[in-house]
Structure 1
Amino acid sequence: MSTAFVESATNTGIPDHPLTPLSAEEIRAVRRIVDEHGLLGESVRFVFVALEEPHKKTVQTFAHGDPIERQARVLLLDRATGQGSNLVVSVTEGKVVALESVDAAANGHVPILDQEFEDIEAFLLDCPDWLTAMTRRGLDPADVRAVPLSAGVFGHEDEVGRRIVRVLAFYQYDAADLPWAHPIDGVVAYVDLTARRVTKVIDEIELPLPTERGQWDAEPHAAAPRTDLKPIEITQPEGASFTVEGNQISWADWKFRFGFDVREGLTLHQLSIADRPVIYRASIAEMVVPYADPSPVRYWQNYFDQGEYLFGRYTNSLELGCDCLGEIKYFDVTIADEDGNPKLMKNAICLHEEDYGVLWKHTDMFNGMAEVRRSRRLVISFFLTIGNYDYGFYWYLYLDGTIQLEAKATGIVFASAHRGPDGFSTEMAPGLGAPFHQHLFSARLDMAVDGDVNAVEEVDAVAVPMGPDNPWGNAFRPQRTRLTRESEAMRTADNFKARVWHITNPDKQNRLGQTVGYALHPEGQPVLLADPSSSIAQRAAFATKHLWVTKYDPAERYPAGNYVNQNPGNAGLPAYVAQDRDIDGQDIVVWHTFGLTHFPRPEDWPVMPVDYAGFKLKPVSFFDRNPALNVPAAPKAHCCES
């Protein structure tokens, strides 16, 4: 039986820690302060409001009872002019302490508002060229569903400095129909969000409209529910093993704080094991979904779901027994809506424990010892829906000191017309294609392995040449390469060499004199496959390498830069590492690119089974021995009954 308890992830009174998320009261105060400074008007909207985290030194030296300076980072957009603003608001002092205008032409725009999407279909209905394109296809324009998407940057001079989206369309036969199954391919509209009108319609080709319905509970897909699956009940009769105090969680030897904002979603802070720090801050800081269709109406499809859309605002309200099983604790999250008012997202974050099979086991031939221990992991997660795709992000902590991040991709593939076997899509249903694409994520890991003085080594498995020291040719060893500067630390994975990256503390050793560390284990899937000279390779440069290492700078938060929407490129990590700072025995940030390369299958239709991507961090010489020796044996009745 699953049970759940709900708690707010935001503070309801005076914050007790510098990393406590903003409360509804503080969000109201932010809006009031911005208004009092004359920065609001009828057409001004709040794009982003989140806690402006104090410098890590302030957080690390904080003691209970110390005064807390509360600040918020705010992005504004004047919809009438397209001008964005970036400001820092001191809730404590009741004033704006920093303000800059966003130079959209040079640096990109602030993210797209939901309110900017709302009138797109009306703009299309006012466009004669669009109506002509629909009529020629025999479609009723009133039944056409518009899907506005971020535009990217492709050298179109008439788009420089303007807020542009490009619109693909789908047909909806009735209210129950899923339009994703009926792409109106061969035509695209460009919309100026500030001018509130269609600026261009490209009508490349008329392609047949796929007509088979896409609801999984309707013909031809509907199937009677199975009757041969018996219930699985997850029970913890003594309750969960974790404890929660505000936004701090303790479980086994682990302790951490968590936060949430609409750009990064769930964030982890001050992650430690056995009172020893491992990571100061961990988040998924960006993701990009580049598509492979080069046609005139689709070549531009590349979405940065965080930097362009702020995917955290689309977080699901999780359901007991469906999204999470067991003894569950849910956390509500308060964000700011586009008018600057607090908005409560119920059950946004899920916390629970899972059994994870065998932790360790041995049956000995000499002394007869036979021991086995069960593994379990702590899970903190959230799920979101952004357009057609659904993504879950799950952080796992294990009893042996392992940290894992798992991204889960599901939902509905973005469809097109299928142009034949030599094209760039898979046929999913008669005449229905799903273009090839990638899902590439960037994890920002502000490492603190036993302290802030860290270094990185690349470790490869290499064969030893045959010779006097290896006469039989069986020898191999780890080859270690120290990465000492940012220019050296732009690396790709190599599964043929079992490549991992050790993040070590050169000032700390275990009982054997070995330098303590944690190893980043990549999955080694492809990085960005687009041509290096392409627009997307410039704008998503972070996705061209599996590993980047930078010296800590609190202003360097996002791998594709602060303003991703229509940014011309080379922002974020390329700009950070251009400084070529010393990273050997420094306070460092590790950035890891991971993801999926998706050649869709018919089995991904009409709804896609979950696909997985992620990475692990494993202790290497961090402990003196197996840290899970103290896990008790399971009661015999639980594992030995026949």
Structure 2
Amino acid sequence: MLHLDPLSAAEISQTSTIIRASSKSEVKFNSITLLEPPKAEYVAFRDAGGPRPTRRSLSIVIPRGTQQVVEVTVNLVSQKVESWREIKDVMPILTLEDLDVVEKISRVDPQVIKACNELGITDMSKVFFDGWAIGVDERWGFERRLQQALAYYRTSPLDNQYAHPLDFTVIADTEREEILSVDIRTVNGERTPVSMKEHNYLPEFAETNQYKFDVLKPISITQPQGVSFKMSGREIHWANLKMHIGFNYREGLVLSDIRMRDPYDSSNKDRKIFNRLSVVEMFVPYGSPKSPHHKKHAFDIGEYGSGFMANSLKLGCDCKGVIQYLDAVLNTSTGAPLLIENAICIHEEDNGLLYKHTDFRDGRVISARDRKLVISQILTAANYEYAFYHTFTLDGTYKLEVKLTGMLNTYCLHESEESAPFGTEIADRLDAQNHQHIFSLRVDPEIDGSNNSVIQSDAVPADIPAEQNPYGNGFMAKKTTFKTAKDGAASYCHETSRTWDIVNPNIVSAVSKKPVGYKIVNSQCPALLAKPDSVIAKRGSFAQKSLWVLPYRDYELFPAGDYVCQSTGDHHPENLTISDWVARDEPIENTDIVCYVQFGLTHFPRTEDFPIMPAEPVSVMLRASNFFEKNPALWVPPSELDEDSSSTNANSGIGRDRVQGKSTLGSKL
């Protein structure tokens, strides 16, 4: 699986050395990552013993002091530059190093200092600036690599800055390290004073938080015999499941070659399920039309990179139990390798009931516990944290759950203003604006082979003659096979409990007489609320549908474009988006396809979300649908036969005795 492994530290250094030797000027390394081999080349090697794919890196570099963007492909075998391609009118990801620039230059800029002095702030070391990509600003084009910054104040080094937002934003040129504008928002011609009331949550403020240490008893998670999975390099084997675990600066976690062994298939072969799974975009449009909020619509993956923002996870805090960690190696702007320790967490969890039945005639109970394999990463995007949990259960289900936590983005309220209707006053004179979080999961299916189709399924009343449905109770699944890419642009329908089946039409289940498949179950998919003709909707056009189905093409990955920063959503021949791909309206039936599944939430902030937000989960699921001939988890021993399934009764006053497979209540009841 070496051909899918992320670049090593040595390969990153090797790449940067080769590029510097080939460049006529000094370059800044925006990103250095593995260039995965073309799919056909990789499949020929994997399935037919073809030539081993050549290992290549892809780098995005910026010649120092310019706004020019260059894509460089390096052959790591021949150690030569294979391609050097300049791209015009695009801007690459803002790295954490880039985002640090605006805070550094803002604190010493005379315009910024003046704006702070007018609010009574004279100590600039207490002013902090969250760098953001710029959503909409017509004053500059691609001659400037822009970012905006939201300003906050801290009364002490550990104070919560989001309790003290300032009434101005800063626009900066990242490469020239220059402040271009300080945009002050006035209300009725007046500045908005800084709220100095503190709202803290750190343990250093324990008296304020009133921690209760005697309420909750410890929970210990133990696996005395160790974990049930095995790692072979970056490939994991668990139960009947196998897959490769990758990582890159933009998508973060990438799962590839996902396959499962059917325990009842006498051939004992691995069956292919998905070629590749990853989260390729995360769109956070804010819903207040008041300045500066109209410029706040973050593409956290396309503008900052899920990998670049990854946390170094801590045992017992971010992951609990018996943990396997994987590190990530990225790059700095100088081309040096950058290690993120424990970027990926792998562990098992109990997942409740797998199956159960009680025979009411004889009281015999049969039940088994489910388990899930969890592969996770957590990232920090300025104020928000996003925890991504890719989970697999024993019945072959895949679920992506995202937990949103961290801090609300706040803004100061003038005494004459109200938050409503575009936000909530979550503390005195603090406004948290309405916003959405829309994630895009890219699914490259391989259901028993590369030729797949998508069938839309709607639950509808039976449309048949009355004599065939005399009591009117009949209902059925209306099936619609998508033929072309425009057909495959679909929205969720609550009234019909809409789902979508990814099927292999060439292989039919011997039992159900239906094609083998996996079902997309996605009811948490809010509609994009920005008006369709707005620049926000154009830039995030992928969020206008719950599902897109397209023919597979190598290196068409990112639905908002390869270069999202400062994009307009208009057609760009070298920065195509999902709108461009769909416009080709190519066939998507019984061919190699890829699906983009959008899910998320619309967030109307609550006072309970402040000063730190309780984790709010959203998820999407893909479940086997006629893929197996029967429940693939029946190999799991029932709990009564499982030596490790013992539990302790918390209530000593209630006794439960097993009598010939029955569970009887004790006499004290």
Separation (CA, whole Å) in 2 of partners of 1:115 and 1:374? 46
Residue pair 1:450, 1:505 contacting (<8 A) in 2 also: yes
Answering whether residue 29 of structure 2 is matched by residue 46 of structure 1, we say yes
Deviations 1:184-215 (A, max 9, x none): 02x22222223332222222211232222132
Deviations 1:398-435 (A, max 9, x none): 11111000111111111112431434221111111211
Q: 2:176 aligns to what?
A: 195
Q: 1:430 aligns to what?
A: 428
Q: 1:71 aligns to what?
A: 56
Answering whether residue 515 of structure 2 is matched by residue 515 of structure 1, we say yes
Q: 1:468 aligns to what?
A: 467
Deviations 1:519-539 (A, max 9, x none): 000023313211111111001
Instruction: Tell me the CA shift for residue 180 of structure 1.
Output: 1.7
Give the AA of the match of 1:539. R
Q: 1:311 aligns to what?
A: 306
Deviations 1:250-274 (A, max 9, x none): 1011000010001000000000111
Unaligned 5+ segments in structure 1 are 1-15
Instruction: Tell me the CA shift for residue 377 of structure 1.
Output: 0.6
Instruction: Tell me the CA shift for residue 129 of structure 1.
Output: 3.6
Structure 1 segment 443-454 matched on structure 2, within 5 A:
443-454=441-452
DSSP 3-state at the match of 2:201 = coil
Separation (CA, whole Å) in 2 of partners of 1:623 and 1:591? 25
Residue pair 1:213, 1:220 contacting (<8 A) in 2 also: no
Q: 2:209 aligns to what?
A: 222
Give the AA of the match of 1:203. I
Q: 1:12 aligns to what?
A: none
Q: 2:611 aligns to what?
A: 606
Instruction: Tell me the CA shift for residue 55 of structure 1.
Output: 1.6
- 261-270 vs 161-170, which deviates more? 161-170
DSSP 3-state at the match of 2:98 = helix
Aligned residue pair count: 620
Alignment partner for residue 630 of structure 1, among 615, 632, 635? 635
DSSP 3-state at the match of 1:479 = strand
Instruction: Tell me the CA shift for residue 38 of structure 1.
Output: 1.8
Say if 1:641 and 1:112 are closer, same or farther in 2 by CA, change over 3 A.
Answer: closer
Say if 1:125 and 1:233 are closer, same or farther in 2 by CA, change over 3 A.
Answer: closer
Q: 1:212 aligns to what?
A: 197
Q: 1:147 aligns to what?
A: 130
Say if 1:125 and 1:383 are closer, same or farther in 2 by CA, change over 3 A.
Answer: closer
Instruction: Tell me the CA shift for residue 78 of structure 1.
Output: 2.6
Q: What is the TM-score of this pair, normalised by structure 1?
A: 0.93
Separation (CA, whole Å) in 2 of partners of 1:572 and 1:120? 29
Answering whether residue 4 of structure 2 is matched by residue 33 of structure 1, we say no
DSSP 3-state at the match of 2:366 = strand
DSSP 3-state at the match of 1:159 = coil
Alignment partner for residue 583 of structure 1, among 578, 583, 588? 588
Residue pair 2:99, 2:132 contacting (<8 A) in 1 also: no
Instruction: Tell me the CA shift for residue 326 of structure 1.
Output: 1.7
Residue pair 2:539, 2:560 contacting (<8 A) in 1 also: yes
Separation (CA, whole Å) in 2 of partners of 1:65 and 1:344? 33
Separation (CA, whole Å) in 2 of partners of 1:627 and 1:379? 19
Q: 1:560 aligns to what?
A: 560
Residue pair 1:495, 1:524 contacting (<8 A) in 2 also: no
Q: What is the TM-score of this pair, normalised by structure 2?
A: 0.89
Q: 1:485 aligns to what?
A: 484
Residue pair 1:213, 1:219 contacting (<8 A) in 2 also: no
Q: 1:8 aligns to what?
A: none
Separation (CA, whole Å) in 1 of partners of 2:183 and 2:567? 23
Alignment partner for residue 401 of structure 2, among 380, 394, 406? 406
Deviations 1:424-459 (A, max 9, x none): 221111111211111111111111111101000110
Give the AA of the match of 1:542. F
Q: 1:282 aligns to what?
A: 277
Unaligned 5+ segments in structure 2 are 262-269, 571-575, 650-669
Residue pair 1:525, 1:597 contacting (<8 A) in 2 also: no
Q: 1:4 aligns to what?
A: none
Residue pair 2:325, 2:342 contacting (<8 A) in 1 also: yes
Say if 1:118 and 1:17 are closer, same or farther in 2 by CA, change over 3 A.
Answer: closer
Q: 1:298 aligns to what?
A: 293
Say if 1:520 and 1:138 are closer, same or farther in 2 by CA, change over 3 A.
Answer: same
Structure 1 segment 85-484 matched on structure 2, within 5 A:
85-104=70-89, 108-125=90-107, 127-140=109-122, 142=124, 143-154=126-137, 156-185=138-167, 187-205=168-186, 206-217=191-202, 218=205, 221-274=208-261, 275-366=270-361, 369-418=364-413, 419-464=417-462, 467-484=466-483
Instruction: Tell me the CA shift for residue 368 of structure 1.
Output: 5.3
Answering whether residue 529 of structure 2 is matched by residue 546 of structure 1, we say no
